[in-house]
Structure formats: structure tokens, C-alpha cells
Amino acid sequence: MRIRFVFRALSLLAMVLAPCLAAGQSPGPDELPLNSQLARTAWQALDGGDFERAIALTDSCIAEFGGQAEVEQGRLDSLGVSEPPEGGVSDATKAEIFSHGILNDVGTCHFIRATAFEKSGRNEDACEAYRAAARFHHARCWDPKGWFWSPAKAAVGKLRSLGC
């Protein structure tokens, strides 16, 4: 059963990414689901120093998809599913992690939102948002350099460093 799921997830990932990979590029923003578009655009706003835009985009993602992410996180917890690994992973593990796209994007958006608050000097809001990010411990964020990291673990570190 697990092998069949992984095969289906890899097949779906291949169908979505094949045209882009063949052209040597990553999927364009319009080819991604809305949750991923919002997360990607929020990262760009954060990186560009437009903190209010980053917050607005993450608020949109969280409002639209947060409930689904909470349900998925709860389901994984209740089933006793281990947290996905960080770093470089096999193609099968990558497909499994990507299959939780809404959970990943909502967890990441909480982290982006917290970082935007922190960079804006709004530490109380940052602490609240980092606490929210820490709840999504099954979420993973893909670094374009080729590995996954945990927004929840990064948020816990930020909570400590900010003294929240």
C-alpha cells in the first residue's frame, strides 16, 4: 500500500514538473497551487524587505488553508507518523514530503509571517507567529539549494533567541 502511494505521488510530481525540468527551470508561479503561490510570493516580499506585503500574503494563505493544515497535522500526530527528515532526501521521500503541500506552505507562511514581524520590530507579534509555526512540526520547507528544513524547529530556535 505504501509503495503504491509513493508511486502515485512520484507520478503526480513527475507530471507537474516534467515540462519545467525538461526546459531546465522550476515551475512558474501560475503553475503552482494557490497555497504555494502565496508562500513563494511571501518569501519574495520578505526577501525584498516588503514586510507588510509578506504579512498580508501569509495572512491570506493561513486564512484560506490553515484549517486544512491543522487537520493534516492532527491526522499525522494521531497516526503516530514520524516527522519527515530534514536535509537532502531520496526522491521517494521528497515526493512524500511534497504530498503535504498545504501543511508545508501553511507552516512556512507562519514562519515567514513571524520573520516579517521580527524584522519590523514587532517582537510580540513575532513571538505569537513563531509559536504558531512551531505547532506545524510535520511541515517542511524546500530550499532551492536542494534540501528540506523545518520551519517549526527554526521557530523554536527563534522563540528562544527572542526570549518569548
Q: For residue 4, what pLDDT band results from cuts at 50, 70 and 90?
A: very low
Asked whether residue 24 is domain-assigned, the answer is no
pLDDT over 80 at 12, yes or no: no
Q: Is 13 within 8 Å of 95 (Cβ atoms)?
A: yes
54-79 average pLDDT score: 97
Asked whether residue 26 is domain-assigned, the answer is no
Asked whether residue 77 is domain-assigned, the answer is yes
69-78 average pLDDT score: 97
Asked whether residue 22 is domain-assigned, the answer is no
Cα(69)–Cα(135) distance, rounded to whole angstroms?
A: 10
Q: Domain containing 63: what range?
A: 2-14+34-162
Cβ count within 10 A of residue 113: 28
Cα(130)–Cα(45) distance, rounded to whole angstroms?
A: 18
Domain count, the chain: 1
pLDDT over 80 at 27, yes or no: no
Asked whether residue 19 is domain-assigned, the answer is no
Q: For residue 30, what pLDDT band results from cuts at 50, 70 and 90?
A: low
CA atoms in the 13 A half-sphere facing the CB of 57:
24
Give residue 25's pLDDT: 38
Asked whether residue 152 is domain-assigned, the answer is yes
Give residue 55's pLDDT: 98
Cell reading at 135? 505547532
pLDDT tens across 116-163, in order? 999 999 999 999 999 999 999 999 999 989 999 999 999 999 999 999
101-113 average pLDDT score: 97
Residue 137 to residues 18, 99, 163: CA-CA distances in angstroms?
A: 30, 15, 20
